[in-house]
Each structure stands twice: as structure tokens, then as C-alpha cells.
Amino acid sequence: MKILMVCLGNICRSPLAHGIMQHLAEKKGLNWQIDSAGTGNWHCGKAPDSRSIKVSLSYGLDISTQKARQFQLSDFEEFDHILVMDQQNYKDVISLATHQEHINKVQLFIPNGFVPDPYWDDTQFKPVYDLIYARSEKLLQELLKSEEGAIR
């Protein structure tokens, strides 16, 4: 299974989701490919935000080797599931879709909700980490339970 996590700049939320889901999948012995990308190109090639790195390290998870990249059209073909952190990310990603099959791969990471962007508030990195971790645990179970690998 190939899963892509997407946020705005690929330095705060999606690197956390990428690292957490990769960790959970590895703990279960799953050979899943997890990656992350941003809808914008401001941080391409850079490591995650130092605050995302710090909060993940406080939980024993090192995301410091990840490098930001921008979402690209080929991601629709490469990944089975494209999970976006908020409605604007959703709109930005599906605006690049060339057919319905692409759109069908894109879903909100939190169904009917969103992951707040902690970039402007240092105090929000831990709550965002906790939110992403809790959702990632549920998402992993949903994917494992579904014979087709579809998210419910």
C-alpha cells in the first residue's frame, strides 16, 4: 500500500503524519510506502520544521531526514491513497486531477474535519502531533480491516 500525506508546505503536518504512519506500519510489520508532500513549493528540499522534529523526537520518532517536496501530477498514479490535512489542501490537490479516478484517491486525513496548521503557534505542535497519532492508529486499523484497502 502506498499512502501520501499532504499539507500546505510539507514541513509541519504532513511530515508528522508521514513519520507517524510509517512508524505504526513498521511496528505491524507492514511493507507500506508512506510519503508526504506540500501543495506549495516554498520549502522544497528542506527538512521538516524544527518544532515538528522536536515534538516527534520527544515521542522517540525521528523525522529529521525527510525532505519537503511539492505535490505533483504523477503522485496520482504512484499512490493508492492521498490524504490531505484540510479543505484547502483538498481543493488544491483535486484541481490538478485529470480524471475521476484521481479525485477518488484524495480524502481528508480526518474525515469531515481537518488538522490545524501549527506553523504560527509553537504551543500547537504537541496537540497536532497527538491528533495525527490518534487518527493514524485508527486509519491503520481501517486499512487493515478493509479487504480492498479502502478508507471508510
CATH number of 90's domain? 3.40.50.2300
- Is there a domain that residue 151 lies in? no
Predicted pLDDT at 106? 98
pTM, to two decimals: 0.95
> Does residue 31 belong to any structural domain of this protein?
yes
From 12, 13, 49, 135, active-site residue: 13
Count how many Cα atoms sit within 13 Å of the Cα of residue 90 in the half-sphere of its side chain. Answer: 17
Q: How many domains does the chain have?
A: 1
Print the domain residue range for 62: 2-145
pLDDT digits (tens, 9 = 90+) for 71-118: 999 999 999 999 999 999 999 999 999 999 999 999 999 999 999 999
User: What are the pLDDT digits (tens) for 41-74?
Assistant: 999 999 999 999 999 999 999 999 999 999 999 9
Q: Is residue 152 part of a domain?
A: no
Please tell me the predicted confidence (pLDDT) of residue 146: 81
Q: Is residue 56 assigned to a domain? A: yes
Within a 10 A sphere around the Cβ of 41, how many other Cβ atoms?
Answer: 13
Q: Is 12 a catalytic residue?
A: no
Residue 10 · residue 4 · CB < 8 Å: no
117 is catalytic: yes
**Could you say which of 7, 35, 49, 135 is catalytic?**
7
Catalytic member of 35, 51, 117, 135 = 117
Residue 57 in domain: yes
Annotation says 135 is catalytic: no
Which grid cell is 113? 474535519
In a domain, 73, yes or no: yes
- Give 39-92 as a 3 state SS string: CCCCCCCCCCCHHHHHHHHHCCCCCCCCCCCECCCCHHHHCCEEEECCHHHHHH
Q: Is 65 left (phi over 0), alpha (psi -120 to 50) or beta?
A: alpha
Residue 13 and residue 131: Cα distance in Å, rounded? 10
Any idea of the CA torsion for 132, 97, 41, 78, to the nearest 10 degrees?
A: 70
